[in-house]
Structure 1
């Protein structure tokens, strides 16, 4: 029968059981452990807890008699029940905490990581060769494209350019409430989902766990079959329109043309190679333009892969980075996803989307949720934890680089060249969220002052000494000298404190 193999809840695709490179192969018995302690430690979004448990239980049904599925308080207790003191293998987990756990168990053999395009050792060699400090995503992305022959014509990028961002930053169509895009794939719940919801209800009644946000109906795939259907739906019907508006926002259309595949990738239901290869096939068959396909390939083979690699390369202490010395706690309205407490239409809309679905696309995450946290000086570790808990696709490896490095600039520029924050003018240009708002994006002070516009200038003032030497920020910082109402603005922001904007 072979040595039992342990599958974590984010290792659910068939590639985690394939032979080769020390993998378990088709005949090895499988162990899966549903540890309730995971949900005790953090106040997760209810929809996220539902998705993870549903996906694990769906996978157990698929594996049938081959799997021993254990429900226990902790992983240690579950593994002891499953195999006693016997040996077990496991693929490299996706967090430092999980890696410490499996390495602390004498009988567990840790196999190489799966579910990514680049082995960790290959990235380390590449990064060390670049000095190990300013590791730019664009350089890495081109290296991956060349090495895996992704969207390439010989040694040149398909379409003649590596980067089609210029074509992929369009504001939403004027006057449109929604993009004219085919609807995304949506799964149908089944008896497993009913069972999961019943168990979560019971856990909450017993006081064992506490969740935030709303649950149901399930919006994201929980099985390999569903994930493949979602991938097929996107590449055949939605990919063509993805590129131009991937950075745009519409209040009534939170999904736009986005793939909604991140949770399936991060659960291990899909492999990144099959996603980018299907996208490339769509371009070569003439079903999608190169800018849309390149934008999608960049998200997966570029950004997602880059974030995974940096999580391990920068080391565990990276999560504690706080170059800007932001210490403010997250306010209760934000922790509770209380969108009704927020007056600013953009923030209320996006916080409501997180409350209701556990998901928004990357621009609301970065330029509304993350930008507000950065402007208010919230503790980046707390912000990282919030994103981890509240998003269905949020895992430690995902959120530490994305939030500490990209969103909160807490690493002082190791990952990005500038802080990603803006005034209300950006939100107004890239969305319809300013219409009908009580605030005005062009106003800095007064009753109608946009919290993002005022917050942007207050942020620049607070960190002027650091940012005025940044080539990408020096011009905005010099703009502080032209503000005749700066003192009034700063006093206004001090009075606002952590109140909901």
Structure 2
């Protein structure tokens, strides 16, 4: 009998922690291969991450190593290169396609490392490339891609037609919060309980800050998001069973006293690889078919998980590295210190102060504060989109390069000139007032453009339209708003107020 060859070790990155990344080579001779994990301190030395994010990632990695036991070699080293050499020497290893270009460049530069296809997503790189080629590489709109994913994976389908007869139920998912409410009347999200691994991580972070190994921004503790597969499933069960029903109608709403609203918070375990998008979408669909949640809520959630998340992942790779540097609006201003430091107390505008405080304290806000409060401020003030992208990457617990690059450069900052979206996403204070309680009370008034109480979002919105009038007046979704500039008798005063504020906190 020919002796079985020793299987090659398989390397797991810190966002490849779920079961789909174990034994990705199938049932052949490599099944049950030894595993390698490398905790590289240089990751935190190079960039100033949110401390809660550093805590979460390290906690998740160390929890996974504890679960895998003797099967994994867990190495703490300065760099990935050093750690891998310490773990396996000169042996051949495999690794699933990493989630960032920097990590892919690293593994491609290493000898004896075989890169396997990406895991943890519904659509392969090849499938997306074929879809994009069908469109000539242009007009790669989410709606078309989303419908293809629904059909291919039989999600919310009735034969060849979408469940309920409509693909898009966004119209039903834009309700403001209930009048007078300070929080939604829904059960809280699932929360974890910290253990000795979390305490060990916190001691290490304290030591790194004390000896200068790393510096962080934001606050840490207690941990709010899943760090294990068991915890991730508990969070999924809690959302589907108790919170999904109200998700859709208030998907875009904001309340100062309720940062979570009815959102799932599942982007965090999804982006750590602890959950697979298929199981999340299928659980939500089952809830609808069993009468536990309305179709608009389920469709809204499926659109986020099986539509937008997949779309962003593939655009990150399809657009190429040069996309990072797109800046068609020529926005060059540096991020102000108060923003970089999450100094919510320095800010007067209640919407921005509240959102910054949420990021400072948790490393998370839902997609509307990200887009219409944080991103809109950056867009109106002309901050460098590459710096804004880096800030979102570092300061959000679910932020990774692949997540934030398309979301910020394309969606939030319109720095690609419309390759990803059909219009810039920014607004005056009236939008925020209509979708939240954040304007009550506030020193500014959303309807005022000039004067002592002028809302910086209202002033900033018109200043943005004025600054980019030539580009935007030909956009069919912006032309009417741009023409509104001609009706402003106080435009010069408005522009002067916007200029005089400069980088000061609004």
Interval of TM-score (by shorter of Structure 1 and Structure 2):
over 0.9
Q: Secondary structure at the match of 2:123?
A: coil
Quote the residue 2:184 is aligned against.
179
Shift, 1:18, TM fit: 3.4
Quote the residue 1:269 is aligned against.
274
Q: Secondary structure at the match of 2:373?
A: helix
In the alignment, structure 1 residue 190 sits paired with structure 2 residue 195: yes
Contact 1:17 1:23 in 2 (8 A): no
In the alignment, structure 1 residue 446 sits paired with structure 2 residue 451: yes
Quote the residue 1:290 is aligned against.
295
Contact 2:97 2:115 in 1 (8 A): yes
Quote the residue 1:411 is aligned against.
416
Shift, 1:251, TM fit: 0.2
Shift, 1:420, TM fit: 0.1
TM-score w.r.t. the length of structure 2 is 0.98
**Residue 247 of structure 1, aligned match among 237, 244, 252:** 252
Once residues 45 and 158 of structure 2 are traced to their aligned partners in structure 1, the CA distance between those partners, rounded to angstroms, is: 51
Quote the residue 1:337 is aligned against.
342
Shift, 1:23, TM fit: 8.9
Quote the residue 2:236 is aligned against.
231
Q: Secondary structure at the match of 1:31?
A: strand
Gaps of 5+ in 2: 1-5
Once residues 131 and 350 of structure 1 are traced to their aligned partners in structure 2, the CA distance between those partners, rounded to angstroms, is: 40
In the alignment, structure 1 residue 135 sits paired with structure 2 residue 140: yes
In the alignment, structure 1 residue 299 sits paired with structure 2 residue 300: no
**Residue 74 of structure 1, aligned match among 56, 70, 79:** 79
Once residues 30 and 474 of structure 1 are traced to their aligned partners in structure 2, the CA distance between those partners, rounded to angstroms, is: 56
Residue pairs, 1:103-122, within 5 angstroms: 103-122=108-127
Once residues 255 and 434 of structure 2 are traced to their aligned partners in structure 1, the CA distance between those partners, rounded to angstroms, is: 11
Shift, 1:74, TM fit: 0.2
**Residue 217 of structure 2, aligned match among 188, 197, 212:** 212
Shift, 1:103, TM fit: 0.5
Residue pairs, 1:9-88, within 5 angstroms: 9-20=14-25, 26-88=31-93
Contact 2:23 2:32 in 1 (8 A): no
Residue pairs, 1:258-407, within 5 angstroms: 258-407=263-412
In the alignment, structure 1 residue 425 sits paired with structure 2 residue 430: yes
Once residues 96 and 344 of structure 2 are traced to their aligned partners in structure 1, the CA distance between those partners, rounded to angstroms, is: 40
Q: Secondary structure at the match of 2:36?
A: strand
Quote the residue 1:155 is aligned against.
160
Q: Secondary structure at the match of 2:182?
A: coil
TM-score w.r.t. the length of structure 1 is 0.99
The size of the alignment, in residue pairs, is 501
User: Hey, which bits of structure 1, 4+ residues long, moved more than 2 A?
Assistant: 18-26
Contact 2:17 2:274 in 1 (8 A): yes
Once residues 93 and 127 of structure 2 are traced to their aligned partners in structure 1, the CA distance between those partners, rounded to angstroms, is: 26
RMSD: 1.0
Contact 1:16 1:23 in 2 (8 A): no
In the alignment, structure 1 residue 126 sits paired with structure 2 residue 131: yes
Write the deviation string for residues 456-486 of structure 1: whole angstroms up to 9, x where unpaired: 0000000000000000000000000000000
Write the deviation string for residues 228-269 of structure 1: whole angstroms up to 9, x where unpaired: 000000011110110000000000001000001001000000
Shift, 1:134, TM fit: 1.6
